[in-house]
Structure 1
Amino acid sequence: MPDDRRTVADPGRAAGRSARVGPPEAAVNDEFSIRRATVEDAGSMSRIATDTFVETFGHLYPPEDLAYFLLNTYSPAAQRELLEKDSVAMWLLERNGVAVGHACAGNCGLPHAEARPGDGELKRLYVLREAHNGGWGSKLFDTALAWLQKDGPRTLWIGVWSQNLGAQRFYARYGFERVGEYKFPVGNTLDDEFILRRRA
């Protein structure tokens, strides 16, 4: 099963936020809320993961490549498999109970020679355009960072599309630096990805 590391941030309200301070497990403001996803959320996670990826990147790929990637990476079964792992955590950003964003974090699986078993990785960070500019991408990111460092500081990694300059600027504000590259497969299409790291 392909592992999606195409992270996308909502940097519109991120400037000036602390890189090392995360919110509690649930953050609520008006109609929006962030909550930890459970196995019962596999269907919702599949839908929001598919919707956000297609909205953001769908136009870049041949239909057959996109369909293959979505089926193998974002199916309910694939999300359930991730949600059943103790080493993985996923969150849903909801507005009035409807998912408009999500995040996923776990142990580092990026192809870098200096990655170590104890390192953590932000694997996904997506917010639908309709929910941009409210700072919720930052809140999702803070939530994932807090979980990744719940047992203390550790080296963190992120894989990001080489052309996603906004996300790269967003992560740089949190202390992440580019340390490598790799190819990210979407069907038969191979994208150029950057590997970012923040040392413990």
Structure 2
Amino acid sequence: MPQISSLFVTRLYRAALSEHGPAIDPAEMEASCYAIAEDDEAGQEWCEENGYPGYTSYASLTDLPWRFPIFADLVKALDAHVAAFAEDLEFDLDGRELKLEDIWINILPEGGTHSSHLHPHSVISGTTYVAMPDGASALKLEDPRSARMMAAPGRKKDAREELRTFIYAKPAVGDVLLWESWLRHEVPMNLSEDERISVSFNYAWG
């Protein structure tokens, strides 16, 4: 009998944010995101100049946990989730920790998308979900080997999850998803009339 193994596994961490750290009220977090977006004129200008749909604080605010206590509580929870994921990945951190590098708000309106990308210079990236109305898009994850498949045929529609070229992770409000930062991902079009709100982040080593 042949022996077939699965090698070079890509891990995706999914948990309720509430499993670690202080309790965070989703309604309070949503209100905070909207209040920040309304006051962040630099972020609004960056989004307009760069054709970014909706709002992101990525290019304007670098100190959310210092400015807003609810984000400080969020980071405490994320630190614990990231530590658990790093343990699962069996990283040898050589006595150091993975530390928050940056954290930002995303508010995606109807019809908005976020094109395929990755996060260079980070180790673990992720998102926690603040508002996911019906029709809001899932997170689309791409097989990192896609560029090397060359003449390979496509996969069957009912292929096992670990063999698919794309995976769609549909989060719920209060979920946190983590992945290694080299994993290419995107947010397909938001088909909901309501806004999809999330908070994304990167962790670096050192």
Q: Same fold (TM over 0.5)?
A: no
Q: Judging by fraction of residues, say which structure has more helix.
A: 1
Which of the two has higher C-alpha Rg? 2
The alignment's TM-score, normalised by the length of structure 1, stands at 0.31
The alignment's TM-score, normalised by the length of structure 2, stands at 0.31
